Amino acid sequence: MFRMAILLLMPAVVHAANPPANPVSYQFCLESVAISNPELLSAQESLRSQEELVAGSYSAFFPSVNASLGVSNNDPKRTVDPQYLSSIGVSYNLFSGLRDRARVRTARANLEIARAALDSVRAKVSFQLRQAFAQALYARENILLTRAIRERRAQNERLVRAQYESGRENEGSYQFSKSLLEQAEYDERVARDQAVIAAQNLSHVIGFDSTEVMAEGEVPISAPPDEADARKLLLLTPAHRTQSARIELADAQFESARSGFIPSLDLSGSLSYLGTQPTLRENRNLGFGIALTIPLFSGLSTFRDLRSAGALQESAAQTRNAVDFETLSGLRQALFVFQQSIQRLKVDTNLKTAATIRATIARKRYNHGLLMFEQWDIIETDLITRQKNALASKRDRIIAEGSYRQIQGLGDLP
């Protein structure tokens, strides 16, 4: 009775100790990452900040208006009326030696860098999610596969044992089949452990660290192009766009440094009052002015700034050349891997089908004594290898597409 009670309670205890994971689809994961990933949210806020700075950079092209009010009384005995001061001034820069335009160019270049950074982060996070989801799907299917392999190894062990007990098989073959069954049981346990780790990684990527999730469904896939103009794709990558924006930034800094040699022209006007009675017109002053500022000598600092900005221009151009070379190579390599992964999946699937048919025939032949154990074991082992390869190729095909899209700055996130 005690043993029966334990057997009846064991499923409930196991269920409580290992609660079922929450199934999540790829679309749900995308929506979760879009609103919870801190790196993505940070890049979005950086872009918003740069957009505000671009709008603010145009302020130099508008007049500046200032007003002031004040009252003073320097007589400690208060026998003299207080003095009232009020003024309003307007200033407008007519020409600043192209410094204001350089400021706008700098802000817009930083804005483009922020946009490229956001696209890069979006592609990176998308790839991380695609990789984690593909690994989680693979881990689930690997459990089913290793379970099927363990059951097949168990059937094989029973078949060899029957042959051994009937005297038609040697003890070595029987002991080897038992060892293969133990190996299959071990592989199944490893697959279960790997599934737990894959589920935890997926939970971390989508921001559900405290919740166990289970990947469900499929990852959207698309066919790779047969041929792609890598140089055209290069112009759209975040890496190239970032370096091009840095060249624009260096050009703007050079223009700003050169403006130190160019005169500036300012227009100003003011209306002020100083007196004890604000209503008196005779105490009001109205003035206008125009000023031309010509830089003559600044201790060579302006000249040095200009040479430094010129060196930065050359550095930015050379850096873009180096980055373009690496990005172009990465694009081509990722495309080749993507194309190869599809062919590899097709080949492994066909090999698995052929190995399954061959193993079915070989089992029947061994059961009738028409095939030696060593030959049969080779066919059985080959079937298991082909099954594992086909499952891994399915996972690698999804990841290869994600890698190719990441280099282009593309992703599944909106």
Within a domain: 71: yes
Q: What is the CATH number of the domain that holds 371?
A: 1.20.1600.10
In residues, how long is the chain? 414
Q: What's the domain range around 387?
A: 20-408
Within a domain: 10: no
pLDDT band at 126, cuts 50/70/90? very high
Within a domain: 11: no
pLDDT band at 306, cuts 50/70/90? confident
pLDDT average, residue stretch 12-39: 73
For the chain, what is the domain count?
1
Helix (H) or strand (E) holding 411: none
pLDDT average, residue stretch 199-227: 87
Q: Which amino acid is at 275?
A: G
SS3 breakdown of the chain: % helix, strand, coil, rounded to 5? 70, 10, 20
CB 147 within 8 A of CB 188: yes
User: CA distances (Å), 387 to each of 35, 351, 380, 384, 393, in order?
Assistant: 38, 9, 11, 5, 10
Within a domain: 414: no
Range of weakest confidence among 45-59, 85-99, 195-209: 85-99
Share of the chain above pLDDT 90, in %: 59
13 pLDDT above the threshold of 70: no
Within a domain: 6: no
Helix (H) or strand (E) holding 271: strand 264-275
Q: How far does the chain reach from its first CA to its final CA, in angstroms?
A: 60
Give the 3-state secondary structure of residue 269.
strand
Beta carbons within 8 Å of 13's beta carbon, 6+ residues apart: none
For residue 266, the model assigns a pLDDT of 80
pLDDT average, residue stretch 27-33: 93
Residue 334, both tokens: 């990722």
